[in-house]
């Protein structure tokens, strides 16, 4: 399956999560689990929810170990939140995409994607896909009370 077809399949499955989720946490976890069904070695994704003074990891899948909590102002999640758009951070062996999502101007959380530097090229198609996933979250997360 080529990359475009694969991303289309992921779009479809992410979109279906809102059909069966009964809570915001179930919605967030369901989205991450979609990625978990297809994730390959060297890749990972996670979803952080913002709280009053910190970001808390809600769910993650893959090889990368994400911090459970990141205090505001003390890491890359805060930089991404301030920028208000997808940010890219390069590490020794990985590239990390940080994608904030909002309700109006209120930050709800940030999705994190870790991709290997070798063997994978981040393209405009990837960035569009990540933006679409975040937009889906923005449009649907408010349907849940928690």
CA dist 89 and 96 (Å) reads: 5
User: In the predicted model, is pLDDT for residue 82 greater than 60?
Assistant: yes
Higher model confidence: residue 15 or residue 64?
A: 15
pTM for the full model? 0.92
CA dist 115 and 135 (Å) reads: 21
CA dist 37 and 71 (Å) reads: 30
Nearest-5° Cα angle at 77, 16 to 56 = 65
Instruction: Write the burial class of residue 35 (CB in 10 Å: 0-12 exposed, 13-18 middle, 19+ buried).
Output: buried
Residue 65 exposure: Cα atoms within 13 Å on the Cβ side: 0
What is the CATH number for 50? 3.30.450.40
Q: What is the tally of structural domains in the chain?
A: 1
Average pLDDT over residues 42-51: 95
* Per-residue DSSP letter, 144: S
* pLDDT (0 to 100) of residue 146: 52
Higher model confidence: residue 123 or residue 145?
A: 123
Give SS3 for 117: coil
CA dist 71 and 50 (Å) reads: 10
Average pLDDT over residues 104-131: 92
Higher model confidence: residue 124 or residue 63?
A: 124
Q: What is the pLDDT of residues 54-79, one digit of tens each?
A: 999 999 999 887 889 999 989 899 99
* pLDDT (0 to 100) of residue 65: 79
Neighbour count for residue 30 (Cβ, 10 Å): 18
- The answer to whether the beta carbons of residues 133 and 109 sit under 8 Å apart is no
* pLDDT (0 to 100) of residue 145: 55
Range(s) of the domain holding residue 108:
3-143
- Cα dihedral value 70, 75, 81, 87, nearest 10: -130
């Amino acid at each position: 399956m080529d990359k475009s077809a694969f991303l289309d399949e992921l779009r479809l499955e992410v979109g279906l999560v809102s059909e069966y989720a009964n809570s915001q946490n179930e919605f967030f976890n369901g989205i991450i689990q979609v990625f978990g069904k297809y994730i390959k070695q060297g890749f990972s994704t996670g979803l952080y929810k913002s709280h009053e003074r910190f970001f808390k990891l809600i769910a993650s899948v893959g090889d990368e170990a994400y911090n459970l909590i990141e205090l505001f102002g003390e890491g890359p999640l805060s930089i991404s939140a301030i920028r208000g758009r997808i940010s890219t951070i390069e590490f020794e062996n990985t590239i990390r995409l940080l994608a904030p999502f909002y309700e109006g101007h209120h930050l709800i959380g940030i999705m994190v994607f870790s991709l290997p530097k070798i063997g994978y090229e981040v393209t405009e198609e990837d960035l569009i896909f990540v933006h679409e996933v975040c937009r889906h979250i923005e449009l649907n997360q408010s349907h849940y009370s928690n």
